[in-house]
Amino acid sequence: MDKRTFLKSTLLAGAGIWAFTRPGEAAGMSSLQEWIPDRLVDEKGQYILPPLDYGYDALEPHIDARTLRIHHDKHHAGYVKGLNKATAAVAEALDKGDMALVKYWERELAFHGAGHFLHSIYWKNMGPRHSQPSGDLKRLITRDFGSFDRFRTYFAAATAKVEGSGWGILAWQPAAAKLVVLQAEKHQNLSQWLTIPILVCDVWEHAYYLKYQNRRKEYIDHFFEVVNWDDVSLRLDLLLGKSR
Ligand code: MN
């Protein structure tokens, strides 16, 4: 696999769910971008609450109708509302040229964004019909965890032991091309699951302290002088499903 093919496969798998089969391939979609939006935004770019694919009582007796209705219609809707509010607040702050509250709004974006995206996966991950892993998913679960039963034991234990509120997550780790089980405490910690980085700036002190000491902003200004925008562009194009 050449570097570009590897990058492409890892980026396409970066949503943390699908393996070697490109997302949406079975449904006739050709890019991650076609698959991801999945009614998470409307045509104006406003985030929207995706409807459930099944009735509130469809998961009974495992997940009761009352819980499902409140969870979807109240809790998830709250994340959507909060994400739109934070998104609009950032736009307003940029219009005013006032970044004083950027730290607050970034926290809000992460909290509500992670909530919106993870719940959108959660609803789709469940359904009334009993099913089993198949295809690449079955093959890679067996390869990476030994067997489905071993995976289930691990996933259940990790999920049960999440400290406080959070999620158990089966994720695709592009860097090693393998499946991993993760815990998410709460769900954000300043990231949004299902969001894929294309430009990153390291602000751990080891990245700048020898030269810039406590002048982090000065380091960031200099970082912009050395950004390889062709690489950033390539990452975006691959996510958009554009071939080069
Ligand atoms: Mn929830």
User: Comparing 88 with 8, which gets the higher pLDDT?
Assistant: 88
Query: What pLDDT does 6 receive?
Result: 45
Residue from 17, 13, 41, 9 nearest 181 by CA: 17
Ligand 1 centroid – CA 152 distance (Å): 21
Ligand 1 centroid from CA 71, angstroms = 6
Structure confidence at residue 28 (pLDDT) = 62
Rounded distance from Cα 167 to ligand 1 centre (Å): 9
Question: Is the pTM of the predicted complex or chain greater than 0.95?
Answer: no
**Segment 38-76, tens digit of pLDDT:** 568 888 889 999 999 999 999 999 999 999 999 999 999
Burial grade of 26 (CB within 10 A; 0-12, 13-18, 19 or more): exposed
Pairing of strands 166-173, 178-185: antiparallel
Ligand 1 centroid from CA 76, angstroms: 7
* Torsion sign over Cα 8, 10, 11, 17: positive
Judged by average pLDDT, the poorest of 2-11, 99-108, 116-125 is 2-11
Residue type, 25: E
> How many Å lie between the centroid of ligand 1 and the Cα of residue 224?
38
Residues 6+ apart with CB under 8 A from 69: 56
Q: Whole-angstrom Cα distance, residue 81 to residue 115?
A: 11
Cα 119 to middle of ligand 1, angstroms: 6
CB 201 within 8 A of CB 223: yes
Q: How far is the CA of 73 from the centre of ligand 1 (A)?
A: 11
Question: How far apart are the CA of 70 and the centre of ligand 1, in A?
Answer: 10
Tokens 């999920």 — which residue? 159
Question: What is the set of domains in the chain, with CATH numbers?
Answer: 65-125 (1.10.287.990), 135-240 (3.55.40.20)
Alpha helices (H) along the chain:
3-12, 32-35, 65-70, 77-96, 102-125, 135-145, 148-160, 209-212, 216-225, 229-239
From the CA of 50, how far away is ligand 1's center (Å)? Answer: 14
Q: Ligand 1 centroid to 77 CA: how many Å?
A: 10
**pLDDT on residue 7:** 47
Q: Which amino acid is located at 32 in the chain? A: L
d(CA 41, ligand 1 centre) in Å: 19
% of the chain with per-residue pLDDT over 90 = 53
